[in-house]
C-alpha cells in the first residue's frame, strides 16, 4: 500500500510538472526589454527612492484637500463597487478552492413501491433509507489547481483594480481642487480689476464733465469696465461646474466645496527624484492588474490543457436501508466505487477550447506589454510637461512684474500728460492678462505634479478597509507578490539572503507598510515570531 501511494504521488507530481512546462511552451512570457531608467532624458544616478513612495498626504499638504480626498475615498460610489467586487471574487476564490475537496451529503428518505403482476398478488415494498455520500474527483494533470490559480489571480486583479481606481480618484480630486482654487483666484483678480476700472470710469466721467478730456476717453473707460465685467459670469459658471464635479466624486449631490484660503504658489522649490529604476514602475497598480490578468489567462489555458487528460473519481456511500423504519439501523450497507475517466472523443470541443484559451492569453500578453509601454510614455510625458510648466511659470512671473511696472508708469505718465489714455488702457490690459496667465500657469504646475505622481504610481499605497480584506487574504496576497519576484536575487553587501529578500520585498510593495502589513512581513521571515504570536493567542483563549 505504501509503495502504491508513493507511486501515485510521483505520478501526480510528474503530471503537474509536465502541465506547468507545457504552459510555458504555449504561453510565452511577455517581452518587455525594459530600459535602465524611467525618464530617458535624466542624467541622474539611479536611486530606489521614487516619488511614488511618497504618501499622498505628503504630496498634497493642503489639509482641506486631504479632508476632501478622504471623504471621496470613503463615499465614492465606484470605490464602493470596487470593494464589493473584491469581496465577490474573494468568495469565488474560496468556492473554487472548495471544489478540490470531497463533497459530503446526507439523504434521508424512502421508496414506496406497489407491484401487481399478472396472476400474482399485490406486493408492497416500502424501503426507508438513511445514506451518506462522499464523492471526490481529481484531474491527474492538475485541472483543479489551474482553476484555483485562475480564481486567485482574478481576485488579486480586483485588488489592483481597486488600487488603480484609488490612484485615479485622488488625482481627479486634487486636479479639480487646484482648478477650483485657480478659478477663485482669477475671479478675485477680475473683481478687483472691475472695481479699479469702475473708479477710472467715474474719474473720466468727472474729467469729461469738467472739460478736461474728450467724450471718447470716457467711453473707452466704459468699454474697458464692461469688458472686464463680462469675464465674471464665465468664471462663476466654471466654479459652479467644478464644485458639482467634486461633489460627484465625493458621492454627494451638488453643493459648495470648502477650500483653504492659502493661495497657490509656484513650486519651483520642489525636487523630483529623476534617477528612477525602471523596474519600480512595474509596481503601478494598473500594471500589476494587467500582469495578474495575464496570469489568470495562463491559468485558464492550463485548465483547458489539463481537462483533456484523465481524471479519477471516487465515491464512498455508507448507509442504512430496510423495509421498516424501526429496524433501519439493523441493515447497514457500504458502497465504494472508483473510476478512471479518460476523454476519448468530443468532436474537437476540448482541443478548440484549449486553442481559444491560448489566443486569449496572447491577447492579455499584448495588453500587458502595451500597458507597460503606456506607463513609460506617461511618465516621460509627465516629466517633460512638469519641467516645462515650471519654466513657463518662471517666465510668466517675470512678465507679471514687468506688466505691473508698465501699468504703474503708464498711469503716472498719463496724469502728467505725457502719453494718451489709449496707452494706459493697453498697459492695464497687459497687466490683467499677465495676472490671469500667471494664475493659470501656477495651477498648471500643480496639475502636472498630480499627473506625474499618478504616472509614477503614487496614491494607492494605503491599506484597504477592514471589511474588504481579511488578515489571511492579505497574507496570501503578499505571498503571491513574493512569488512574482526573481528567485535568484543576489545577496546585498552586509545582508543575509533573508534580509536581502525582505529588502527587495519592501521595495516591491512600496510604502504599503502599515502596522498590520509590517507584522505580517515579520511573520513571514521569522517563524519564532509566528510561534510566539500563536502561543499568546492560545493563552488568551484559555
- Find, among 67, 287, 50, 285, the residue nearest to 168 by Cα: 285
CB count within 10 Å of CB 437 equals 17
**Which pLDDT score is estimated for 467?**
46
Q: Residue 415 — very low, low, confident or very high, per pLDDT cuts 50/70/90?
A: confident
What is the C-alpha to C-alpha distance for residues 367 and 361, in angstroms, rounded to an integer?
10
**Which pLDDT score is estimated for 440?**
93
**Which pLDDT score is estimated for 267?**
62
Phi, psi (deg, nearest 5) at residue 104: -120, 130
Q: Residue 48 — very low, low, confident or very high, per pLDDT cuts 50/70/90?
A: very low
**Which pLDDT score is estimated for 246?**
94
Q: Is the pLDDT of residue 522 over 50?
A: yes
pLDDT averaged over the chain?
Answer: 78
- Can you read off the three cell numbers belonging to residue 485? 519576484
For residue 539, being part of any structural domain is answered with: no
Q: Residue 8 — very low, low, confident or very high, per pLDDT cuts 50/70/90?
A: very low
**Which pLDDT score is estimated for 73?**
87
Q: Is the pLDDT of residue 539 over 50?
A: no
Q: What percent of the chain lies above the pLDDT cut of 70?
A: 75
- Find, among 196, 183, 197, the residue nearest to 245 by Cα: 183
- Bridge-based pairing state of the strands 123-139 and 332-341: unpaired
Q: Which of 233-242, 355-364, 469-478 has the lowest mean pLDDT?
A: 469-478
**Which pLDDT score is estimated for 494?**
58
Q: How far is CA 182 from CA 1, 57, 362, 442, 531, in A?
A: 80, 20, 46, 8, 56
Q: Is the pLDDT of residue 387 over 60?
A: yes
For residue 234, being part of any structural domain is answered with: yes
What is the C-alpha to C-alpha distance for residues 495 and 507, in angstroms, rounded to an integer?
15
Q: Are 156 and 306 spatial neighbours (Cβ–Cβ below 8 Å)?
A: no
- Can you read off the three cell numbers belonging to residue 312? 479519477
Q: Is the pLDDT of residue 372 over 80?
A: yes
CATH number at residue 10: 1.20.1600.10
pLDDT tens column, 452-479: 888 888 877 654 444 444 555 555 545 5
What is the C-alpha to C-alpha distance for residues 366 and 373, in angstroms, rounded to an integer?
11
For residue 485, being part of any structural domain is answered with: no
For residue 201, being part of any structural domain is answered with: yes
**CB neighbour burial string for 43-73, b if at least 16 within 10 angstroms, e if fewer:** eeeeeeebbbbbebeebbebebbeebbbbbb
DSSP label at 188? H
For residue 169, being part of any structural domain is answered with: yes
pLDDT tens column, 87-106: 888 888 778 777 777 888 88
For residue 315, being part of any structural domain is answered with: no
Q: Is the pLDDT of residue 504 over 70?
A: no
Q: Which of 122-131, 228-237, 255-264 has the lowest mean pLDDT?
A: 122-131
Q: What is the mean pLDDT of residues 3-27?
A: 56
**Which pLDDT score is estimated for 42?**
52
Q: Residue 142 — very low, low, confident or very high, per pLDDT cuts 50/70/90?
A: confident
Number of independent structural domains in the chain = 1
For residue 153, being part of any structural domain is answered with: yes
* Bigger pLDDT: 186 vs 269: 186
Q: How far is CA 430 from CA 402, 403, 427, in A?
A: 10, 6, 5
The highest-confidence range among 140-149, 235-244, 488-497, 518-527, by mean pLDDT, is 235-244
Q: Residue 438 — very low, low, confident or very high, per pLDDT cuts 50/70/90?
A: very high
Domain hosting 44: range is 2-100+140-308+343-461
Q: Which of 103-112, 250-259, 294-303, 484-493 has the lowest mean pLDDT?
A: 484-493
Q: Torsion-angle region of residue 37: left (phi > 0), alpha (psi -120 to 50) or beta?
A: beta
**Which pLDDT score is estimated for 465?**
44
For residue 152, being part of any structural domain is answered with: yes
Q: Residue 200 — very low, low, confident or very high, per pLDDT cuts 50/70/90?
A: confident
The size of the chain, in residues, is: 542
pLDDT tens column, 263-302: 887 765 455 655 566 777 788 889 989 999 999 999 999 9
**Which pLDDT score is estimated for 195?**
93
Q: Is the pLDDT of residue 189 over 70?
A: yes
Sorted by sequence, the CB contacts under 8 Å of residue 485 that are 6+ apart come out as 501, 504, 505, 508
pLDDT tens column, 156-167: 888 888 888 989
Q: What is the mean pLDDT of residues 164-171?
A: 91
Amino acid at each position: 500500500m505504501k509503495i502504491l501511494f508513493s507511486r501515485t504521488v510521483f505520478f501526480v507530481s510528474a503530471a503537474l510538472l509536465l502541465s506547468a512546462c507545457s504552459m510555458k511552451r504555449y504561453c510565452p512570457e511577455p517581452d518587455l526589454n525594459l530600459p535602465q531608467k524611467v525618464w530617458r532624458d535624466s542624467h541622474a544616478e539611479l536611486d530606489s527612492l521614487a516619488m511614488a513612495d511618497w504618501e499622498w498626504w505628503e504630496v498634497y499638504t493642503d489639509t482641506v484637500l486631504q479632508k476632501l480626498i478622504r471623504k471621496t475615498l470613503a463615499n465614492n460610489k465606484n470605490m464602493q463597487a470596487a470593494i464589493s467586487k473584491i469581496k465577490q471574487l474573494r468568495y469565488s476564490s474560496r468556492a473554487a478552492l472548495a471544489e478540490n475537496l470531497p463533497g459530503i451529503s446526507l439523504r434521508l428518505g424512502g421508496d414506496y413501491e406497489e407491484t401487481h403482476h399478472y396472476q400474482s398478488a399485490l406486493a408492497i415494498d416500502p424501503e426507508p433509507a438513511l445514506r451518506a455520500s462522499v464523492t471526490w474527483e481529481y484531474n491527474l494533470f492538475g485541472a483543479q489547481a489551474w482553476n484555483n490559480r485562475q480564481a486567485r489571480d482574478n481576485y488579486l486583479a480586483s485588488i489592483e483594480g481597486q488600487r488603480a481606481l484609488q490612484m485615479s480618484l485622488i488625482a481627479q480630486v486634487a486636479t479639480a481642487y487646484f482648478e477650483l482654487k485657480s478659478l477663485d483666484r482669477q475671479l478675485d483678480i477680475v473683481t478687483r480689476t472691475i472695481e479699479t476700472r469702475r473708479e477710472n470710469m467715474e474719474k473720466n466721467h468727472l474729467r469729461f464733465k469738467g472739460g478736461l478730456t474728450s467724450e471718447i476717453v470716457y467711453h473707452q473707460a466704459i468699454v474697458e469696465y464692461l469688458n472686464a465685467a463680462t469675464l465674471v459670469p464665465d468664471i462663476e459658471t466654471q466654479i459652479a461646474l467644478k464644485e458639482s464635479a467634486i461633489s460627484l466624486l465625493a458621492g454627494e449631490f451638488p453643493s459648495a466645496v470648502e477650500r483653504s484660503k492659502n493661495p497657490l504658489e509656484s513650486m519651483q522649490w520642489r525636487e523630483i527624484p529623476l534617477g528612477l529604476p525602471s523596474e519600480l514602475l512595474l509596481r503601478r497598480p494598473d500594471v500589476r492588474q494587467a500582469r495578474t490578468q495575464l496570469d489568470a489567462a495562463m491559468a485558464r489555458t492550463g485548465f483547458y490543457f489539463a481537462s483533456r487528460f484523465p481524471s479519477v473519481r471516487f465515491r464512498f456511500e455508507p448507509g442504512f436501508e430496510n423495509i421498516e423504519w424501526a429496524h433501519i439501523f439493523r441493515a447497514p450497507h457500504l458502497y465504494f466505487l472508483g473510476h478512471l475517466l479518460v476523454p476519448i472523443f468530443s468532436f474537437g470541443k476540448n482541443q478548440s477550447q484549449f486553442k481559444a484559451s491560448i489566443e486569449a492569453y496572447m491577447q492579455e500578453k499584448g495588453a500587458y506589454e502595451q500597458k507597460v509601454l503606456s506607463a513609460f510614455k506617461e511618465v516621460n510625458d509627465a516629466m517633460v510637461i512638469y519641467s516645462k510648466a515650471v519654466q513657463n511659470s518662471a517666465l510668466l512671473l517675470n512678465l507679471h512684474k514687468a506688466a505691473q511696472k508698465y501699468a504703474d508708469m503708464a498711469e503716472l505718465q498719463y496724469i502728467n500728460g505725457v502719453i494718451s489714455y489709449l496707452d494706459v488702457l493697453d498697459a492695464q490690459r497687459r497687466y490683467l492678462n499677465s495676472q490671469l496667465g500667471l494664475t493659470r500657469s501656477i495651477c498648471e504646475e500643480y496639475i502636472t505634479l498630480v499627473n506625474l505622481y499618478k504616472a509614477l504610481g503614487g496614491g494607492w499605497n494605503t491599506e484597504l478597509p477592514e471589511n474588504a480584506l481579511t488578515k489571511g487574504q492579505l497574507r496570501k496576497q503578499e505571498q503571491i507578490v513574493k512569488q512574482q519576484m526573481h528567485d535568484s536575487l543576489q545577496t546585498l553587501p552586509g545582508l543575509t539572503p533573508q534580509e536581502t529578500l525582505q529588502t527587495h520585498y519592501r521595495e516591491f510593495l512600496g510604502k504599503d507598510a502599515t502596522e498590520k502589513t509590517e507584522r505580517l512581513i515579520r511573520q513571514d521571515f521569522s517563524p519564532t515570531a509566528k510561534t510566539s504570536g500563536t502561543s499568546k493567542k492560545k493563552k488568551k483563549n484559555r
